[in-house]
Amino acid sequence: QSVLTQPPSASGTPGQRVTISCSGGTSNIGSNAVHWYQQLPGTAPKLLIYNNDQRPSGVPDRFSGSKSGTSASLAISGLQSEDAADYYCAAWDDSLNGRGVFGGGTKLSVL
Amino acid sequence: QVQLVESGGGLVTPGGSLRLSCAASGFTFSDHYMSWIRQAPGKGLEWVSYISSSSSYTKYADSVRGRFTISRDNAKNSLFLQMNSLRAEDTAVYYCARGPYTYGDAFDIWGQGTMVTVSS
């Protein structure tokens, strides 16, 4: 059971906008920044969004993040076939003297 | 370019040991905290451990504390994970990652991973 809760799956058609939610608690999302990682099939994870809503260089602006209270969301607009991947939210948890925690991942299908 | 390359994975029997390595290049290794993150087959990501830039501070997940030891050699731009008393549930791809820069930050660079299989 993951500390952060994500829906196991999401889907959309090309061009649509999809959102993926991430729910946590006061010791993790409520106290620290949320980061999002994209894992394309058969590859290592890649940083997609950091500090709630910041995009690393090279990440298209179709990807955006937000946070409110103990929840966060990843939005993908103008969905493309190459966006089909697993998406993970992550944060640091202040309980137990600090530890990294991840969501269980959301598998995004582009129909 | 900035790169992390893991090695040392393989098949080990329960109770055995394995040492993973991660070679860093393209950035000033000694300036950065480094972490290990694992992913069991078909499962999600699990943070394992991190080490501060000067090795003065380490932290571990409850699931590996007392069995795994993280270390680094800044002169050789290398990160290590010594894994002892291995269990079947330690079977996973182990990723080396750069970060967090400070507590709360993201893992901004990941290696390609090395597979560890614990089985008799």
The band of B102, judged by pLDDT with boundaries at 50, 70 and 90, is confident
Residue pLDDT, tens place only, B70-97: 999 999 999 999 999 999 999 999 999 9
Our measurement of the distance from residue B110's CA atom to the centroid of its chain's CA atoms, rounded to an integer in Å, reads 10
pLDDT of residue A86 exceeding 80: yes
Residue pLDDT, tens place only, B20-38: 999 999 999 999 999 999 9
Q: How far is residue B16's CA from residue B3's CA, in Å, rounded to a whole number?
A: 30
Which contiguous run of DSSP H or E holds residue B106? none
The band of B103, judged by pLDDT with boundaries at 50, 70 and 90, is confident
pLDDT of residue B41: 97
Interface list for A 38-77 with B (CB within 8 A):
43-47, 50-51, 56
Q: Is B101 on the interface with A (CB under 8 A)?
A: no
The band of A73, judged by pLDDT with boundaries at 50, 70 and 90, is very high
Q: Which residue of A has its CA nearest to B4?
A: A44
Burial B71-92 (b: 16+ CB within 10 A, else e): ebebeebbbbbebeebeeebbb
Q: In what order do the strands lie in the sheet with A18-23?
A: A18-23, A71-76, A63-68
Residues 6 or more apart from A11 whose CB is under 8 A from it? A18, A108, A109, A110, A111
